[in-house]
Chains A and B, each alone.
Chain A
Amino acid sequence: MAAVQGGVVDGKEEVSIKAEPQSDGTGTGDAADGTPPSASPGSGAAAGGGKAAAGAPEDQQTLLAVLQFLSRNKLSESAEILRREAGLPEDALEPKGTETSGSGPGGAGDVDGGDPASLLSRVTVCPAAAPALAKAGDDQPDVSVVLSAYSQQGDPALYQVYYRDLKKFIEMVLDCHRAELSQVFYPLFVHMYLELVYNNHENEAKAFFEKFSGDQECYYEDDLRVLSGLTKKEHMRGNETLLDFRTSKFVLRISRDSYQLLKRHLQERQNNQIWSIIQEHLYIDIFDGMPRSKSQIDAMSGSLAGEAKREANKAKVYYGLLKEPEIELPLDDEDEEAENEEGKPKKKKPKKDSMGSKSKKQDPNAPSQNRIPLPELKDSDKLDKIMYMKEATKRIRLGADNLPSICFYSFLNAYQGLTAVDFTDDSSLIAGGFADSTVRVWSVTPKKLRKVKSAADLNLIDKESDDVLERIMDEKTASESKILCGHSGPVYGISFSPDRNYLLSSAEDGTVRLWSLQTFTCLVAYKGHNYPVWDTQFSPFGYYFVSGGHDRVARLWATDHYQPLRMFAGHLADVTCTCFHPNSNYVVTGSSDRTIRLWDVLTGNCVRIFTGHKGPIHALAFSPNGKFLASGATDGRVLLWDIGHGLMVGELKGHTDTVYSLRFSRDGEILASGSMDNTVRLWDAMKAFDDLETDDFTAATGHIHLQDNSQELLLGTYMTKSTPVIHLHFTRRNLLLAAGAYNP
């Protein structure tokens, strides 16, 4: 702590700040402990400093410093004007501002000693400078090294005293700060408990746990259960939850005032134990402005590693849609002609309202057309697109007064074995994954499923004939359903390719398999996940697909590569569900660590982290315009997110069990959710997004008031007869299809 108080000027000395409090600890742990964990922030800071120095010329540094000064003194308007004048990007202020105060001594003026502001900024500096990815990159550090961080000793009997003391203090502070400071309880509790366990104070640990576990928020119950089972040092090895806790800093967002209160208190009481935990294991993201209310905090907390840092959600996301290639349409219909000009037709993307002029030029939020290489359209794809456009003209406009019809596909005699369902985009095929390792495909149109003839028979075909595509099919194999065998464990994820030629399935056996729907055979088994693969999903343009599994990594594959193109690492627990952004440039993953991450396919970086769910996430869906994301979790809530701003914008309460399926209508007006509680619910998505006051988003504090309007947004609840709803799909004409297995 002394080090923190001392005035430090240079960015490189950050390292020593980090190291010094640890050297307060026992000598033994120091050597092992000082190097690796602090290496990453240290190097990160150095890199960050370097970048700033290289990237920005001297005058820009000064500008930033001034900006920083202005913002610190709450002259936000002036800061805004200056920023605009200088032509700095909007996000220049935040991350770089902190860097400036770290590296540029002139910025703050008096750096030495007492100024709490500079102190605080320094607290935020080191982790802030370490980009999220650097942290993600060096994951799985040596276990013993990680654990040894706990080796520093305090009097085990005093832990309870410390904790109670802090608790008393927080209970006594002003109401407005109490909610914010209470966030500290949970991470402190966990780390103190782990320290006790690590140092073999088993009984003290148990007593500590029993005494204070009841105080923790109810949404941490699952983690507390894991923790409660852990009473021995030996258990700590190999316990992933615990490693997560240690390797990732728990992120708290606290207002400056509250933080100062806490700091002053800890300094007064010489409560070094707690202070060192806060320094080592917590990342406190300090913001200026009003402290947040309890409900605001509760809305965002609940994930395994606290809230997302604000910096993590600052990167620019190109959430706009790609321009559709122009397709020559048969000019038999005026409407279609008009649509064609607008370039509307698009897989999964319906036409937007009054976007005629906009769509001609590039959407400013859209990525460039060739940001990632996309497969070229084949003739059959073009035909399909024409079909799609024709259907789109017959689409029903949905709304609160015009609810969709729901057709429910019940799987009978599934004996609790149905694990995954998918529909093709044109709703002609249904595939089901089963616990008995099979995948079954049904045709729901009169057109039966046929295999291609064998090679010998194909030789006999007249290849010049017009109906060659028809001739290659073997009539004898026509049937309504086909079974695909190949997996050696329950199939958990299933996805049709957009062109309906392929089917992907992921299973417990750690493989993702690609099946041909022409021959109904397995083409490739993609091996890479060595553990169960929970979900897989094709890109809306085909070719690419993403998979995520128990190994906490989501992988991006291309169908013609047997090795993954990208590995998205960063989740602290299983990747439970995956979804492609409509423009295919981003992938979103939900995890058991109760966070949602958005990954850039091009760079592999994590560009958004959404926290707020209180249970593992099991359903994700993008709105058709690519702007919003809906997510559903075991807690039965559906949360809505604004991707551009990286904020939660809505909460839909109503389901009483895990939400397994989410889908927006083709025009994005209705959000349908299907759940284990045997209901399909329809929500007014238009209203949910319209009511947003987008001005709030620009506020630097980055938190908004969520209104509790679930009941107003709920348009309908439809009970099934003891059939959990595990998949939903809007047809091109906006008929809602639902599927689930009947469990008598």
Chain B
Amino acid sequence: MAEERRQKQCSVVLPTESMKAMAESVGVGQLQEESCIALSEEVSYRIKEIAQDALKFMHHGKRRKLTTSDIDNALKLKNVEPLYGFQSQEFIPFRFASGGGRELHFYEEKEVDLSDIINTPLPRVPLDVSLKAHWLSIEGVQPSIPENPPPATKEQQKTESTEPLKVVKPGQEEEGTIQGKGQGASAPDGKGKEKGLIRLKPRSTHELSVEQQLYYKEITEACVGSCEAKRAEALQSIATDPGLYQMLPRFSTFISEGVRVNVVQNNLALLIYLMRMVKALMDNPTLYLEKYLHELIPAVVTCIVSKQLCLRPDVDNHWALRDFAARLMAQSCKTFSTTTNNIQSRITKTFTKSWLDDKTQWTTRYGCIAGLAELGPDVIKTLILPRLTVEGARIKAVMEGSVVSNIDKIGAEHVQSLLLKHCASVIAKIRPQPDNVEQYRADYGYLGPMLCSHVVKARTQAALQAQQVNRTTLTITQPRPTLSVSQSGLSGSGGPRTPSIIKVPSSLTLMSPRPGTPSQPSPPATKYIVMGTSAGAASTQQVITLSSSQSASPVTCTVPSATSTLQPLVKLESGSGPGITTSRPLQKYIVVSLPSSASSSLEPKSSVLSTSISSTPLETGMKLERSESPGASTQSPH
């Protein structure tokens, strides 16, 4: 590799065309080819010389960026008049022009009227240099203050998880723990012990400082709470704050457990909130998520393909959640798929398999297709297009058949529009221009004619605005993905409860388009308890009431705090244990029931996924206890 580079160095010479162009610009026409070559070699050599000298100035200026002043100084060294009037800019907008068989890159300079410059008010004086002191380290321990970088960079998290065997150094070790003060004293002792060259796996600390516990509590409450503004702030914090990596295992468990519980409860709103948390985690550049994919991916996949995600599948727009989760999935495939974990191919296989199954319901079917479609045009081309005919026949059977449930019909419609939406653009690219309806019908069956019109539309649209749509994430018009759920149940006007509305900034319809069963009585309000922190005090459980709560089946999920011991043993206990109830007042226990009908068909698959995806062993033992009693029942002390 180095060899190639060097050879390049050897041969880099300015093109003779440049010489000609420059000669012309100073009024020398008809420069001979030989002179051009000689000139270009000479000039290239001199430029290299100057660049080398300029580099010296950069090094001594303690910078990484070469500036124009470095070049000026290098020119001065050679007794050449420096070039005046050039200033370093962050971005030099070279313009490209071609014509007459020549290609030129040039720097566009406008003529400046001097009086303009004179008359413009002076710019604000830049801030003066000032000196500020902070502690970089206190007796070998780096305090976590804003002046210091976040405790562990992504690379460190990565090496930590991939190379667990190494001798711990203070500094690195302490960087791992935020609460530095208490550890200052113990750090040297620990090091002393390790002097015996015993290569120990660094003790992974699961203790969170009080601040972190509070933060975790606040964030999780806000993320699943009812206040949208608070949620936005919380998600923003998750997406941007450095140094969250210590809480990552908790977040990951929170999400996966939350999904598990709420899928069963068909609580669409909470599922959406949780998916938005996943999205925020993925957006955070300082987190090394690879370690937790085994928990997150099954949760996401569940949200894509679960048979039922909401209480009234005919009214609520669970489709948007599926779309959103599918995009998340595609994004994580893109970022995390490697040759070792093979996420993308495994996900693809999972989707395809359940899609091909005849007995798969329309909701799952929709999820599978959405999941596949989001993976990109290549996947659409190879996996979806060949099945259009079959799928078209199936849709036709539902649409034109007489005795079908309303739900099936809605499902089929959604699948149809989904297929049209995704396939049209791909077909527009791979199919030659004349779009013949009959041809389409022959190729794609029932969906053919509709496809044809969509393709035509896609083509015209593509011609109009080539680069408008970016469909990889939900981010379409806004910089941040927003998938908000507004709840109107609380207003409680006594009328029928408005279905959960999912706002998507794109043109997706948010409410279920058909006012199918308007007279359906609003379901009983449910109470969900999603979280419990394992942080010292046992009073951090939280009740989330989604609508004006009366009762029915309040569901609670507790994660009993292991009182700051190291293993975050996550338990879903059957709440009938009175002993526990008495010992911890104000707690609720959930009995997560997984009735066979409600559990999505994907459930087993995702668990398979979870075991195999984790390339790195889970450090924290996790145990799940489920009571298999159908019908969730809980008792709550309030």
A residues adjacent to B (C-beta < 8 A) = 206, 209-210, 213-214, 218, 221, 224-226, 228-232, 234-235, 239, 400-420, 430, 432, 434-435, 440, 442, 444, 481, 489-490, 492, 508, 531-532, 534, 550, 574, 576, 592, 616, 618, 634, 658, 660, 676, 680, 682, 711, 714-722, 724, 726, 738, 741
Contacts and interface: CB of A to CB of B under 8 A. Distances in A.
Contacts of A717: 169, 171-172
Contacts of B136: 406-408, 680, 718, 720, 738
Contact of B129 (A224, A434, A724): A434
Nearest to A218: B2
Given A210-B7, A592-B56, A414 B170 contact: no
A231 B41 contact: yes
Contacts of A618: 59
A447 to B, nearest CB: 15
Interface stretch (B61-69, B115-123, B253-261, B523-531): B61-69
Contacts of A409: 131-133
Contacts of A232: 41-42, 45
Contacts of B69: 435, 490
Interface in B1-21: 2-3, 6-7, 9-10
A400 B139 CA distance: 11
A660 B58 CA distance: 13
9 contacts: A239-B49, A406-B136, A413-B127, A419-B62, A532-B60, A532-B77, A660-B62, A676-B62, A722-B149
B6 A432 contact: no
B147 A718 contact: no
B164 interface: no
Contacts of A418: 62, 129
Contacts of A726: 62
Contacts of B97: none
Interface of B: 2-3, 6-7, 9-10, 41-42, 44-45, 48-49, 52, 56-57, 59-65, 67, 69, 73, 76-77, 126-140, 142, 147-149, 153, 167, 169-172, 175, 188, 191-192
A407 B45 contact: no
Contact of A490 (B41, B45, B61, B126): B61
A38 B67 CA distance: 44
Given A406-B136, A407-B133, A413-B130, A206 B10 contact: yes
Nearest to A727: B62
A643 to B, nearest CB: 26
Given A490-B61, A716-B137, A400 B191 contact: yes
A714 B167 CA distance: 11
Contacts of B48: 225-226, 229
A214 B133 contact: no
B52 A440 contact: no
A408 B171 contact: no
A574 B131 contact: no
A189 B49 CA distance: 21
Contacts of A531: 77
B133 A406 contact: no
Contacts of B42: 232, 234
Which of B61, B139, B153 is most buried by chain A, counting CB atoms within 10 A of its CB? B61
Contact of B131 (A417, A430, A715): A430
Contact of A214 (B3, B63, B129): B3
Contacts of B127: 412-413
Contact of B148 (A226, A434, A682, A719): A719
Contacts of B167: 711
Nearest to A400: B191
A214 to B, nearest CB: 3
Given A229-B48, A403-B137, A403-B170, A410 B10 contact: no
Contacts of A435: 61, 69
Contacts of B134: 407-408, 410
A676 B58 CA distance: 12
B59 A229 contact: no
Contact of B45 (A221, A229, A576): A229
Contact of B44 (A229, A405, A414, A417): A229
Given A442-B131, A616-B59, 4 more contacts: A416-B61, A550-B56, A714-B169, A719-B153
A687 to B, nearest CB: 11
B132 A413 contact: no
Contacts of A634: 59
Given A231-B45, A402-B188, A416 B63 contact: yes
B412 to A, nearest CB: 55
Contacts of A738: 136
B139 A403 contact: yes
Contact of A413 (B52, B126, B139, B153): B126
Nearest to B73: A508
Nearest to A577: B60
A209 B9 CA distance: 11
Contacts of A230: 45
Contacts of A716: 137, 140, 169-172
Given A405-B135, A676-B62, A210 B73 contact: no
A300 to B, nearest CB: 22
A405 B139 contact: yes
Given A401-B191, A410-B131, A411-B129, A228 B59 contact: no
A413 B7 CA distance: 42
A411 B2 contact: no
A379 B393 CA distance: 104
Contacts of A432: 129
Contacts of B130: 411-413
A444 B132 CA distance: 10
A-B pairs, 5 with minimum CB distance: A214-B3, A403-B140, A716-B171, A408-B136, A406-B136
Nearest to B171: A716
B6 A213 contact: yes
A489 to B, nearest CB: 7
Contacts of B49: 229, 239
Nearest to B5: A221
Contacts of A660: 62
Contacts of B138: 405
Contact of B142 (A218, A492, A714, A718): A718
B45 A401 contact: no
B63 A490 contact: no
Contact of B2 (A214, A226, A417): A214
B290 to A, nearest CB: 22
A406 B136 CA distance: 5
B203 to A, nearest CB: 18
Which of B52, B60, B127, B131 is most buried by chain A, counting CB atoms within 10 A of its CB? B60
Nearest to A228: B10
Contacts of B77: 531-532, 550
A715 B59 contact: no
A721 B62 contact: no
A419 B2 contact: no
Contacts of A714: 169
Which of B45, B129, B148 is most buried by chain A, counting CB atoms within 10 A of its CB? B129
Contacts of A234: 42
Contacts of A404: 137, 139-140
Nearest to B142: A718
Contacts of B73: 489-490, 508, 532
A529 to B, nearest CB: 12
Contact of B59 (A224, A226, A658): A658
A412 B129 contact: yes
Contacts of A715: 140, 169-171
B135 A407 contact: yes
B131 A416 contact: no
A224 B171 contact: no
A654 to B, nearest CB: 10
Contacts of B191: 400-401
Nearest to A717: B171
Nearest to A726: B62
Nearest to A711: B167
Which of A401, A434, A714 is most buried by chain B, counting CB atoms within 10 A of its CB? A401
